[in-house]
Amino acid sequence: MLPRSYKASRNIAIQNTNNKNALIKQPYPSPAFRIAPTSTPIVIPLEIVSPKNIGSVSTDSIIVSGTTVPYADVMINNFEITADVKGKFTQTINLDEGENYISVIAYTESGVAEKEIIILRDLLQ
């Protein structure tokens, strides 16, 4: 899923054979592929501080927090946020009964990282 800030295409300025500037439409890449084609993709640091893959909870929501590189874009399930100056991020996620898969993706112009945790919401606890 792409962040809401992405558009379907972008205009790229090129110079054609007549030395005149022209605009062409080029699709935006997904966050994992925003890296320049000539560079080697790097894995940026990403740590989920809370919650850990601890099993089950009885609450209807949890706070997902972690660290990555400063100002990285972070997707937590359907929420897009930006890490702060120290690379910290926090987001409250609502839980359904049963298994809840929480996907955390951090990305910048130079790299990407992804982690997933599973939290079980057990109403009988």
Task: Give the tokens for residue 37.
Answer: 């084609």
Which is the CATH superfamily of the domain at 42-121? Immunoglobulins (2.60.40.10)
Condensed to tens digits (0 to 9), the pLDDT of residues 15-50 reads 444 554 444 444 444 555 454 555 566 889 999 999
Q: 72 near 47, Cβ under 8 Å?
A: no
Condensed to tens digits (0 to 9), the pLDDT of residues 76-123 reads 998 999 999 999 999 999 999 999 999 999 999 989 999 999 999 987
Cα–Cα distance measured from residue 105 to residue 87, given in angstroms and rounded to the nearest whole number = 13
Query: Taking the model in full, what pTM does it have?
Result: 0.65
Which band of pLDDT confidence, cut at 50, 70 and 90, is reported for residue 71? very high
Q: Which helix (H) or strand (E) holds 12?
A: strand 9-15
What pLDDT, on the 0 to 100 scale, is given for residue 39?
A: 59
